[in-house]
Amino acid sequence: MNPKSHQILFHSPELRIPLQSVTLSFVSDRTLSHLKHSLFNVSPQFVSSFYFTLNGKPLLDETPLLTTQFAPFSTLLLRSRLFGGGGDGGATGAESRDCYLNMYAEKKPDKVDPNEQRLSKWLNCALSNEPLREPCVIDNLGNIFNKVALVEALIGKKLPKEFGHIKGLKDMINVKLDLIPGVDDGISGAKFQCPIAGLEFNGKYRFFALRNCGHVLSAKASKEVKSSCCLVCHKEFEELDKIVINGNDEEVVVLRERMSKTTKEKKKKKMMIKKVKNGNVDVDDDGVSLEGKRLSGTKHGVDDKAVAKVEGNGRVGLKGVSDVAAKRFKATDIAPANATKDVYASIFTSSRKSDFKETYSCRSLPLGRN
C-alpha cells in the first residue's frame, strides 16, 4: 500500500451503491461534499438531500476526507434525508422517538376530577353551568337545565350541537324539584331532594322524572313503594314515562333510541293528517294508495282478498280467484233496453283501451291516466 495515501470505503443501500473505495492522498483537501458531487451529476439541491454517516453518526458535508476520524478502511454510509420526518435539517435525528411523538401529540386539557364533574351535572344547568334554579326542565335524554337559560339559547339559536335534539318547548319537560328545607340559593351543595325518601339530588343516587306530572323521585323511593302512580301527585304513569336524570352512557343510549322512535312516529302521524286534509285518502302500510285501488276498479281490492283467502286456507284456491273475477261487475251487462252493447259500452272509457289516442286535451285521457 502506498504509505502516502489510504483508502476509505462507502456504500449506500438506499441508492443501491455497492461498497466502493476512495483512495486518498495525504495532500488532498477534498471534503465529503466533493465526494458526494462526484457521485451525482445532478443539481446541488438534490445532492444536499444526502449525507454520510460513520458508525451511525451523521457527518457534516464540510468534513475533510483526510481527517483523523477516518481510519483506513472506515466504511461510510450514504443516506438520504427524510423530509418532514426529522433528520431533514430541522432535527438532528438524535431525539428519542418519544420526544418526537410528544411534540406532535395533541395537547390534552387539564384533567377534570370526574367526581367534581359528576357533582356539577347535578347541581348546575347542563347548558349555562349556573346553579340549578327553578323553573327547571329536562330534555328527553335526562339532562337538566334552568328553563330560562335553555329557552334563551333556543331563541338566540345558540344551542350547542350536543343539544341539537331540543327544537322547541315540546322537547322540554317541566320538572318539579323538591327544595331541601332551610337551604338557600347561596349555598354551593345540593339544594334538592327526593320528596319521598329525602335523598339529596347530588349525584350519589339515581333519580328520574315523570313525563306526565314532572315530579322528580329517587329510584330508591319508587323501588320501595312499587306503584304505577306518582308517589307525590298520584297521577298514573307507564314505565316509558320515566326519564332517568343524568343517566349513565347505557341509559342515555336507551333514552336516545326512545326519542328517535317517538320523533319518527310523530312525523308519520303528521304526514297522514296532512294527506287527509289535502283530500287524498291516506297511505296504507304497503304505501299503496287506496284511491289508486279505487281508480283501477274493484279488481285489485278483490284480488287481494282472494289471495288472502288462499294463504289463510293453506290450500291453493285458484277457483276462488276465478270465481271472483267472473263476478266482477261490468256496466255493459246491464245495458238499457234498445241500446246495443257496443254503443252503451262506448260511454265508458275502459271499454276501448286499444284505440285510445292522446290528444291536446287532457280531458280525453281515461280516468286513471290524468
CA angle 329, 331, 333 (to 5 degrees): 85
255 binds Zn ion (CB under 5 A): no
List the one residue from 35, 144, 230, 243 that touches Zn ion (CB under 5 A). Answer: 230
Which 3 state secondary structure label does DSSP give 191?
coil
Residue 44: cis peptide before it, omega within 30 degrees of 0? no
Evaluate whether 283 touches 272 at the Cβ level (below 8 Å): yes
- Find where cell 336524570 sits: 245
Q: Which stretch binds Zn ion (CB under 5 A): 41-49, 151-159, 207-215, 299-307?
A: 207-215
Pick the closer one to Zn ion by CB: 232 or 245. 232
Residue type, 146: N
215 binds Zn ion (CB under 5 A): yes
State the nearest-atom distance from the C-beta of 256 to Zn ion, in Å.
25
- Find where cell 323521585 sits: 217
233 binds Zn ion (CB under 5 A): yes
Whole-angstrom distance, CA of residue 221 vs CA of residue 199 = 9
150 binds Zn ion (CB under 5 A): no
State the nearest-atom distance from the C-beta of 172 to Zn ion, in Å.
17
Q: Which stretch binds Zn ion (CB under 5 A): 153-161, 178-186, 226-234, 354-362?
A: 226-234
Which 3 state secondary structure label does DSSP give 39?
helix
232 binds Zn ion (CB under 5 A): yes
Pick the closer one to Zn ion by CB: 32 or 213. 213
Whole-angstrom distance, CA of residue 236 vs CA of residue 229 = 4
State the nearest-atom distance from the C-beta of 231 to Zn ion, in Å.
7
Pick the closer one to Zn ion by CB: 174 or 351. 174
State the nearest-atom distance from the C-beta of 213 to Zn ion, in Å.
3
List the one residue from 65, 138, 213, 216 that touches Zn ion (CB under 5 A). Answer: 213
Tell me how many residues contact Zn ion (CB under 5 A).
Answer: 5
Whole-angstrom distance, CA of residue 257 vs CA of residue 133 = 29
State the nearest-atom distance from the C-beta of 265 to Zn ion, in Å.
25
Residue type, 55: N
Question: What is the edge-to-edge ordering of all strands in the sheet holding 207-210?
Answer: 216-218, 207-210, 242-244
173 binds Zn ion (CB under 5 A): no
Pick the closer one to Zn ion by CB: 78 or 230. 230
Evaluate whether 356 touches 349 at the Cβ level (below 8 Å): yes
State the nearest-atom distance from the C-beta of 230 to Zn ion, in Å.
3
DSSP assigned state of 64: B
State the nearest-atom distance from the C-beta of 211 to Zn ion, in Å.
10
Binding residues (CB under 5 A) for Zn ion: these are 213, 215, 230, 232-233
